[in-house]
Amino acid sequence: MTYSVLTLIELMGARFPVLLHAVLNRFPLIVVGEDTEIVDDLVSSIAMLAPHRHTLVFWRDFTSEDEITAVWEEERHDYEVARTTVCCLSSNIRLALDRVRSFNGWIIGVTVGKRALGLEVDESVIEKLRDLLTDQSRNHGVLRVKSPSDLVFHTARPPTGKLQVERHIVNKILTRKKQSLERIRRLLKKSVRGMEVPTAIVQALLQLDEEAVKITHDMFNEEVSGFVHAARRAVTILSRIRLAREVGAPTRLTERNLFEAIGWSIGGVSDMIRFIQAEWHEDFSDCVNSSALMGLGAWVDSMWGA
């Protein structure tokens, strides 16, 4: 099975925004369970929470650390290159541990109680992997699969910030999905009004489970893309602010000016800066502060033809 966005939201509840935060900020993630098929399905499904990225699968799309390092280096030097998510299916955990030293941005499947190319996979393997991730990354997450419908997710450290962007995305798509399904149901009810249609057929007509999954998927992709595009506009502005600073101009943006320029209003500038650093490997924290700058807002507006 494949876990849809709607299924993950329903199963994980309040923990889903934390998972989404981890994916957007490229924390390495471990998916742990006893069923290989479910673990691997979750690895693939979690990767789809970043629809703007290209997914590479270890041992299918690349087999060495040098190959994936070349991908990361290309990202660092080209803003236009598609960002990457790396997946490692549970059968390849031994190969990954043998061949790769850095797992930043990886989603790794681990099936406990199985053998993977001669490696007996138990909790000690998971602890070894977590120790590696602790040394390499500022945070990482573990998704425990107790059953197909029982998922428990936690991060090594509490997420920074209030997850306003992630909560906004979830709340908005659930609201929009509900409204969309209600409109469809009203239209369907109207189409059979005055007709002698058996109750069972009417109930079947109004059963929109598959439509709910598709609608949620499309709306989720739309909302995530909206945030990513706003962040890309911020990169365009902040890179020019940095250039101005490098030639001696004591220039910084306020959060308000930046958000007005990029057409975004959710969360704080620190959330945007963290995402930009994860996505484009750039730290623009020195280009934004809370004090107003005379005339800077108008200058930023002029960049977009406002």
Give the separation between CA 227 and CA 165, rounded to whole angstroms.
8
Residue of 264, 80, 17, 246 lying closest to 273 (CA atoms): 264
Question: Is residue 242 domain-shared with residue 137, that is, in the same domain?
Answer: no
Are 122 and 9 a contacting pair, CB within 8 Å?
A: no
Query: How distant, in Å, are the alpha carbons of 69, 71, 230, 247, 284 from that of 236?
Result: 25, 22, 10, 17, 11
- Identify the pLDDT of residue 1: 62
Residue of 115, 60, 54 lying closest to 85 (CA atoms): 54
Question: Is residue 77 domain-shared with residue 144, that is, in the same domain?
Answer: yes
Parts of the chain with a pLDDT under 70: 1, 290-306
At residue 251, the 3 state secondary structure works out as coil
Task: Provide the residue range defining the domain that includes 169.
Answer: 164-303
Question: Is residue 118 domain-shared with residue 53, that is, in the same domain?
Answer: yes
DSSP per-residue letters across 136-171: H-S--EEEEEEETTEEEEEESSPPSS--HHHHHHHH
Q: Write down the pTM of the prediction.
A: 0.91
Q: For the chain, how many structural domains are there in total?
A: 2
At residue 152, the 3 state secondary structure works out as strand
- Strand positions, DSSP E, 40-140: 54-57, 84-88, 106-111, 115-116, 119-120
- Total residues belonging to the chain: 306
Question: What would the two tokens of residue 231 be?
Answer: 């962040």
Q: Which residue among 133, 155, 177 closes a domain? A: 155
The pLDDT tens digits for 16-51 are 999 999 999 999 999 999 999 999 999 999 999 999
Give the separation between CA 269 and CA 284, rounded to whole angstroms.
10
Are 48 and 5 a contacting pair, CB within 8 Å?
A: yes
Question: What is the domain-level CATH number for residue 125?
Answer: 3.40.50
Give the separation between CA 14 and CA 67, rounded to whole angstroms.
37
Give the separation between CA 37 and CA 109, rounded to whole angstroms.
10
The pLDDT tens digits for 275-295 are 999 999 999 998 987 543 333
**H or E stretch covering 278:** helix 269-280
Question: Is residue 178 domain-shared with residue 261, that is, in the same domain?
Answer: yes
Question: Is residue 47 domain-shared with residue 24, that is, in the same domain?
Answer: yes
